[in-house]
Every structure is written in structure tokens, then in C-alpha cells.
Amino acid sequence: MRRSASLQRLLFYGLSGPIVALNVWLLSVLFRYFQSPLTILSFAAIVAFLLNYPVKLFERARISRTQAVIIVLLVTLTLFGFLGITLVPMVIDQTIQLLNKIPDWLSSSQDNLVQLEAFAKQRRLPIDLRVLANQINASIQNVVQQLASGAVGLAGTLLSGLLNFVLVIVLAFYMLLYGDRVWYGLINLLPANIGIPLTKSLQLNFQNFFLSQILLGLFMVVVLTPIFLILRVPFALLFAILIGISELIPFIGATLGIGTVTLLVLLQNWWLAVQVAIAAILMQQIKDNLLAPKLFGNFIGLNPIWIFVAILMGYEIAGLLGTLVAVPIAGTIKGTFDAIKSGKSGDFMSTVTIPHDSDHN
């Protein structure tokens, strides 16, 4: 009996790895084949999850769900319209200016390397920066070519983005109205001990995760924009928004956002880049250690290693979209299994921990 049990465990652990790898490969193939509709459906589901909060508030005021959904969508569209008129043109203009400036910044950085090498030769220091200079020159040519090719398809990209935005809003509207019926119709196909915890886990993880990440990202944008303006950072609004958006990617997003902005500023002014990095890291620490715990409390968390693994698998399967939904999906799976093991499907908590860099120091 013991040999049989040990053999079963060996087979289970031995086959689980290849099965997981095969499933990841199949999911990545399916996503690439149905990338456009799956992306629109995923963003529509995220929007529906977020808008479900204010819809429930209106329902508590004895307003029918249809009326509540219409009111919330009208307010949301009004807000997006206001941002589209005021903020979006500024961001697009700064983005175009930044793309035009990058070749000049790379050229100036190449000149600085030449001066540094000449300075080193005068003092007989063994420094050869020709390879790095050649790489920068190749990067300049690559950037120029990409800008030339990207400018041609800019109008088509904006038109496609606007169409996708309309589709996301329309789908989110119908998900808010009829999503429960479709979901529970699918859940009824599963046993009750799986369907109930899966439903609660999915709702709690997605709502807690995206709401918290969006609020924290807004905090970074609101705080960093005036700081960058005081420091006279070029493209201050664009850089602050870039760091705020990077907050949506857990675990590594903030580091990537701050690192990218610092590198771009470094191409122009190294001392300004140091100031930008210090200000952004300081605000990030305030957000992680003071704001986040007070806003969202303590959740039952995933191990940081599993968070990182989930992000890597999500990126392999669905690219940027996969990195956004990897953590709440992993939390949903963990929460469902925990509820099934405990046998308390009705007593459930969110398993998503909002990962902060301070937790890993």
C-alpha cells in the first residue's frame, strides 16, 4: 500500500509539470488566435467589475438596476468625455514631442560618451566606449525608423482604439445588466461546492485588486505631476501618467515605470534624473507603507514567488493583458481551493495581496 501511494504521488508530481506547461502553451495559442475579441471581452469585464460598485450604491437607494446602470454609464462617459477633451490631447501632444526628442537625446548622450572617453585618454585611463557609442548610434537609427513607420499608422491606430473603446463600453453595459444570468448559467454546470466559492472568489479578487491598483495609480499621478513640474522635468504630465499606469502591473510595475522615466530623463540630464528617481521612490514608499494599508487593510496573500510566476505565465499567454489579470486569477484559484478544502464555501475572503516593493526589501 505504501509503495502504491508513493508511486501515485510520484506520478502526480511528475506529470503535473508537463500538463501545466502544455496548458500554458495551449492558452497562449488560443489567445493569439482570438486576441482581439478576448482583449475586448476582458477589458469590458474589468470595467463591469469596477462599475458594479456604484451600481450597487444606486440600488440601495431603491433605484432599479437598469436605471442604476444607465446613470453610472452616463456619468462614466461624461467623465471620459471630459478627460478626452482636456487631458488626452495634452498627453498625445507630449507623447509625440517625446518621440521626436528621443533621437536628439540619444545623439547628445553619444556626444557625452565621446567627451568622457577623450577625458579618460588625457588621464591615461583604460576606457573604451566605442562599442557603447556604436550601440547608441544603432538605437538612433532604429528609433528614427520606428517613428517614421509609426506616424503613417497613427490615424488608423486612433480610430481602431476609439472603436474598441465603444465596444468595451457597450459590452460592459450588457454585462452589468445580464452578466449575472450568463455567469450563474455556466456555474450551475459545476458542483455547488466548486461553483459558489469560485463565484465569490472571482468577484472579491477582481474588485479588490483593480480598484486598489487604480486608486494607487491615481495617487502617484496626482502627487508626481506637481513635483515633476517644480523640478522642471520635461513632459512632466506624461511621465507621471506613465508611472501611474505602471502601478496596474503588480510586483514589478512600479519599478519598471520609475526606471523607464529615469532612463529617459537620464538621456538629457543626469542630475535631473537623480532627482526624479528620488522623488518617485519616496512617493512610492509613502504609498506602499502609509496609504495602501489604510485604504485596503490586510488581505490573505499569495506568496511573492507565486505572484512573480503568475505574472510571467500571464505575459507568456496574453502579453500585457496577461500581466494585468494574472494576479487576480491566481488569487481566485487559490481562494477557491482554500474554500473547498476548508469546506466553508459561504465564508470567504479575498486572497489578493497588493504587492509593494517595501514588502520585498
Per-residue pLDDT of the chain (361 residues; tens, 9 = 90+): 556 666 666 665 566 667 766 776 777 777 778 888 888 888 888 888 888 888 988 888 888 889 999 999 999 999 988 888 888 888 888 888 887 777 777 666 666 666 666 666 676 666 555 555 566 556 555 655 555 555 445 555 666 777 888 888 899 999 888 887 887 777 777 777 777 788 878 877 777 778 888 888 899 999 999 999 999 998 999 999 999 998 888 777 888 889 889 888 887 788 898 999 999 999 988 888 877 666 554 444 567 777 788 888 888 787 878 888 888 888 888 877 777 777 654 444 444 444 444 444 4
Judged on CB neighbours under 10 Å (0-12, 13-18, 19+), 253 is buried
Dihedral in degrees, nearest 10, Cα atoms 12, 17, 18, 21:
140
Tell me which residue has cell 446602470: 69
* Residues belonging to the chain: 361
How far CA 189 is from CA of 183, 332, 336, in Å, comes to 10, 18, 16
Report residue 232 CA to chain centroid gap: 27
- State the pLDDT at residue 223: 93
Which one-letter amino acid corresponds to residue 56?
K
Please name the residues in contact with 193: beta carbons below 8 A apart, sequence gap of 6 or more.
Answer: 340, 343, 345
Full-prediction pTM beyond 0.75?
no
By CB neighbour count within 10 A (0-12 exposed, 13-18 middle, 19+ buried), where does 39 fall? middle
The reported pLDDT for the residue numbered 280 is: 93
Burial 209-245 (b: 16+ CB within 10 A, else e): bbebbbebbebbbebbbebbeeeebbbbbbbbbbbbe
Query: Taking the CB of residue 270, how many other CB atoms lie within 10 A of it?
Result: 11
Kindly state the cell numbers that stand for 15: 506529470
For residue 14, the model assigns a pLDDT of 62
What the block records as the C-alpha cell of 44 is 469590458
**Can you tell me the distance from the alpha carbon of 27 to that of 18, in angstroms, rounded to the nearest whole number?**
14
Alpha helices in the chain (DSSP H): 2-33, 35-60, 65-122, 130-152, 154-187, 192-230, 236-246, 253-266, 270-286, 292-296, 304-342
| pLDDT of 352 | 42
Q: Domain boundaries in the chain?
A: 34-189
Which residues have a Cβ under 8 Å from the Cβ of 335 and sit 6 or more positions away? 197, 200, 201, 204, 205, 300, 348, 349, 350, 351
pLDDT at 228: 94
Residue 275: the pLDDT is: 93
pLDDT at residue 10, rounded to an integer = 64
* pLDDT score at 227: 94
pLDDT of 269 reads 81
Three cell numbers written together for 286: 509613502
Grid coordinates representing 66 are 437598469
pLDDT at residue 356, rounded to an integer: 47
Residues with Cβ within 8 Å of residue 330, at least 6 apart in sequence: 302, 306, 307, 310
Residues 6+ apart with CB under 8 A from 296: 208, 212, 354
CA distances to 156, 322, 326 from 312, rounded to whole Å, are 31, 9, 8
Q: What pLDDT does 270 receive?
A: 80
Rg (Cα) of the chain, in Å, rounded?
25
